Every structure is written in C-alpha cells, then in structure tokens.
Amino acid sequence: MPNPPAMMRRVIVPESGAVRLEQVATPSPGPGEALVRTVVSGVCGSDTHAAHGRHPFISLPYAPGHEVVGVLESLPEGSDLAVGQRVVVEPTLVCGECKQCRSGRENLCERLRFFGCVHDQGGMADYFTIATARLHAIPEDFSDEQAALVEPLATPVHAVRLAGYPEKDLNGKTVAILGAGTIGLLVLTAAKYRGARRIVVTDLLEGKRERALRLGADAVVDAGLSDVADQVRKELGESTDVVFDCVAIQSTTNQSIEMALKGGTVVVVGVPTGDVTIPLSIVQDQQVRIQGSATYLPEDYRDAIEILSSGQLDVTQVVTAIYPLDEAPEAFDAAAGGDHVKVLVRP
C-alpha cells in the first residue's frame, strides 16, 4: 500500500461545548502496533457527554473515536492479521499484568487507558496507531454500518452475560430495559438473542418506544408514568427477573429497584453523570442484586460479531445518520439532539 501522508485530519474536543478539526502529523506505529486508516467512527453517548464536560471519567481536551472500523495499512512482523483487512477496535488499553488482567477481567484493569477517551489518540481521524492485540477482524460480508455496531453491541453483550451469571443466557427470564437509546436498543437485541422470554422497554419519547417495538420488544411503557413499575409488571405478567438501567439517573434507579422486587437483578449499564441514592433496607430485605457493568471482554466482541452475523438486528434502525469528518461538529450535535440513534463519522 502507498505510504500515508505526512499530515492528517483528526477531531479534537479542546474544551466544553467545542468540537474541532485539526491538522496533525500522521502517527507512526511503535513496536507491536498497526497503522490503521479509519473507515467509520461512531459518536457515542459518552462522547456527547464528554464534549459538554459531563462525563465522570473523560477530561478535556480529548481525541474522540472509540467505536472504530478501519483498514490495516501496516502491521508488525508476525501478526495474524493482513494488510488491507478491515478491523474493529477494542479500545480498552490494558496492562496485562495487574490482578484484574491476570484473572481474566481485563476490562477492570488497574492501569486501564481507553483509546478515543483517555488516550492521546482516537479513531475520529484519518489514521491512528494501536496495538494489534486490540484489533478484531470482521467478516468480509459485513457492511461498514454493521461493523460500526460491534463495539456498541459488545457493551450490552457483556451486561447480559453478567445478568445471567454464572450462565450467559437469559433463557426464560423476564426483562425490563430502561431507556431506548443506542445502548438500550442493543441490550434488547442481546437479551433476545440470549433467550429472554419477554422484554418490556421504557422510554419518555414515543418515537423511541416505537423503534423498540420494531426491533422486537414485546411491549413498551411510557417512562414518565407515575406507576411505571406497576405497568412494566403488568406487561410482563409477573415480577421482573432482570432490569437493565441504560439511563442511570435517580428516577431510573428508583424504578429499577421497584421493578426488581423481589429477588431480581438490576444491571447498571448507563454511565451515571452523578451520584444517586438507593433504598438499602429494601435492597437487603428483598434480596435485590445490583450489578455494575463496565465495557466488555474479547469474548463479548466475538459474541457481538456472532449476533450481527445472525441477521437478527436491522442495522438501518440503529445507524440513522452518517457525516463526513469535516462535519464532525454537526455529527456531535445530531447525536446529542435525540432524533438519531447511532451517528457515524466517515473520513
């Protein structure tokens, strides 16, 4: 392949409320690293929060782009991958040596950095470099839009795995999903694939509830109702085995625990922007399990690719806008505006 240009474009978020394009030197891969040309990069809810200074773990300035599909331009010797191959990035940059990494929980690495969030590079650029160990080859028949959903889907796959602990399936279980944004809809996809018997989705917006029905929810409930937990139980026909909170604010925390009574599990998938309180006496007395879920593991990527290969997910219902790299500020605005599900940026 031809040598990359000396300079390239990348998106930077220098301060709250600002998204800019800048010219920088094209990075050169170090030992064990690949040079990747970006094909598409998704705008995540974490990006829109971080761009307005509301993400608890991303400080500004930062270089966005962790939901990335790219083409391999160069590789270190001995790699199992091939130049010209399309890949997706697993953006967790782990040490491989700490207690968590040694025990197979590298998503909880004690020295974790995160490509496109807490790192000096992101995939919302013409090129980037990254360790080949953080790359996954994708099926040749995948569209770029399908491939762009591997990383976002891996998060719900991981959450469903934790909810079904010690088994990763939800066979026969009743499920409530709070929030019908990108992650909520992908939790719906993963839960259906893993055998949930009946799924109810809640959201404030009618359009999002309708989209959840199109993607396979058995029923939907207006999240603004005062008796939303009772309505969810009514639609399920019984108590809720697993609640996935994809919003993670005080009201959804309250609703989640109420839906999980008695003996249910609440999985916190959304990223809270602040602390919430929980009724600990009820959690203890009625044996509610509250489970945090953080990103993913390599097997979650493999399962996400399997689900996307199955054809269960209508990708056109999830990827709803694509912007050129030069219009990254408009892409961030569109992603934050509520009219779209997943917005992609294409260099």
pLDDT of residue 57: 83
The answer for residues whose C-beta is within 8 angstroms of residue 338's C-beta and 6 or more apart is 205
The CATH number covering residue 227 comes to 3.40.50.720
The predicted-structure confidence for 8-44, as pLDDT tens digits, reads as follows 999 999 988 899 999 999 999 999 999 999 999 999 9
Q: Which of 267, 41, 252, 253 is nearest to 157 (CA)?
A: 267
- Both 39 and 76 in one domain: the answer is yes
* Chain centroid offset of residue 180 CA: 13
Residue 21: CB atoms within 10 A of its CB come to 15
135 plus 14 within the same structural domain:
yes
Q: Do residues 140 and 177 both lie within one domain? A: no
CB 182 within 8 A of CB 318: yes
> 40: which strand partners?
69
Contact by Cβ (8 Å): 16, 62:
no
Strand partners, 88: 69, 136
Q: Output the domain CATH number for residue 139.
A: 3.90.180.10
**Residue 2 covered by a domain:** no
pLDDT tens per residue, range 153-185: 999 999 999 998 666 689 999 999 999 999 999
Find the domain containing 168 and state its range: 154-292
Please compute the mean of the pLDDT values over residues 56-60 and round it to a whole number.
86
The pTM assigned to this predicted structure is 0.94
- Whether the CB-CB separation of 87 and 29 falls below 8 Å is answered with no
261 and 336 in one domain?
no
Domain count, the chain: 2
User: What 3-state class would DSSP assign to 309?
Assistant: helix
Residue with tokens 């199955």: 310
Report how far residue 311's alpha carbon sits from residue 315's, in angstroms, rounded to the nearest whole number: 9
If asked whether residues 182 and 219 sit together in one domain, one would say yes
pLDDT (average), residues 216-242: 96
